[in-house]
Amino acid sequence: DVKVTQSSRYLVKRTGEKVFLECVQDMDHENMFWYRQDPGLGLRLIYFSYDVKMKEKGDIPEGYSVSREKKERFSLILESASTNQTSMYLCASSFSDSSYETQYFGPGTRLLVL
């Protein structure tokens, strides 16, 4: 079974803190993605990566950065957390060699910024 894990299920941080969200997948997938999910808005893509050390902006990258130093790990960084970044964060991964691939999701991290 494909397994995508995220470092925390719940996280509480203060405004201005630097926040790291970690995602690890065990299926040797090339592609990895970070989404945020807010009520009534569905999932919105923040950043994605096709390969190690490679990153591309998604639809809402402002206020976020990412790091992919190893193939299995993709980190989302909130440089200075703000209350409007309170959200559910979902990581996903997929193979890149076919348009028939699906994305496999982690369990999500619920982040509260006070």
Opening angle at CA 106, ends 11 and 23, nearest 5? 65
Residue 105 interacts with another protein (CB under 8 A): yes or no? yes
> What are the DSSP E strand ranges found in 1-114?
4-6, 10-13, 19-25, 31-38, 42-49, 56-57, 64-70, 73-78, 87-94, 104-105, 109-113
We find the least distance from the C-beta atom of residue 63 to another protein, in angstroms, to be: 20
Q: Out of 44, 51, 65, 70, name the contact with another protein by CB under 8 A.
A: 44
**Among residue numbers 71 through 90, which ones bind another protein (CB under 8 A)?**
88, 90
Binding residues for another protein, rule CB under 8 A, total: 28
Binding range to another protein, per CB under 8 A, among 12-20, 29-37, 63-71, 77-85: 29-37
